[in-house]
A = this chain, B = another copy of it.
Amino acid sequence: MIRVTVWNEYKHEKEIEQVKKIYPDGIHSCIKQFLSKEDDIEVRTATFDEVEHGLTEEVLSSTDVLIYWSHALQDEFSDEVAERIQRHVLSGMGLVALHSSHYSKLLKRLMGTTMTLRWKHDVSERLWCTAPLHPIAKGIPEVIDIPMEEMYGEPFDIPKPEDVVFTGWFSNGYVFRSGCSFTRGKGKIFYFQPGHEMNPTYHIPEIQKIIVNAVRYCYPDGIDRALPQNERIED
């Protein structure tokens, strides 16, 4: 079984009527629901307001893949917890980072760059698969039409991804590396742009399938979860 923890800030859903309608129990509950249908995945959730944001040493040690959504409370997120998650990723925990989490302390720590980009609300998107043989693309149509999303546009200040699995086309003339894979330490990371809280993107079956695939891809199958260490070689 792949042990997934879905972490969500869970703020907008409680405060903004439009978001509440789309995700009445929070984005994390929506994601938990569709992941739970998979036989090889077991899911729990955690949110910002819990002690240590619900991401204690114990929780992370028993998590194979962390799904992470954040937006309004990036600055308020604990430095200590961000460092802790980073350490677990470097030790092998997979990470699926969604939408505005690109600008989280966690992603900035793992990527080393500013993670800046361009953005605009309410633009229609066509999500092109640009690496159709990648495991995350398995069974995914070559293009997915998302009626309305938050446009993210280049330049996106990230290190060169290992693969650009999806490229976003936006009706207002912008493009974006919307699905990017990285490895950091023993941890596999997938960043995925779709998922603005004001649009019902995580209810789209193809988007759900991409997240399911990403979980399987990032799963540290057979990986010893020890942090990489320096080693002195003796004669």
Chain A residues packing against B (C-beta within 8 Å): 86, 90, 103, 109-114, 116-120, 126, 128-130, 132-133, 138-139, 142-143, 151, 153-155, 157, 159-160, 162, 164, 167, 169, 172-175, 177, 182-186, 188, 221-223, 227-234
Contacts and interface: CB of A to CB of B under 8 A. Distances in A.
A46 B109 CA distance: 27
A233 B153 contact: yes
Which of A120, A133, A139, A182 has the most C-beta atoms of chain B within 10 angstroms of its own C-beta?
A133
How many copies of this chain does the complex contain?
4
A230 B118 contact: yes
A4 B80 CA distance: 36
Given A120-B232, A138-B221, 15 more contacts: A90-B114, A112-B112, A114-B227, A114-B229, A128-B175, A130-B155, A130-B175, A132-B186, A133-B183, A133-B186, A157-B228, A159-B184, A160-B183, A169-B169, A169-B174
Nearest to A168: B175
Contacts of A231: 116-119
A35 to B, nearest CB: 21
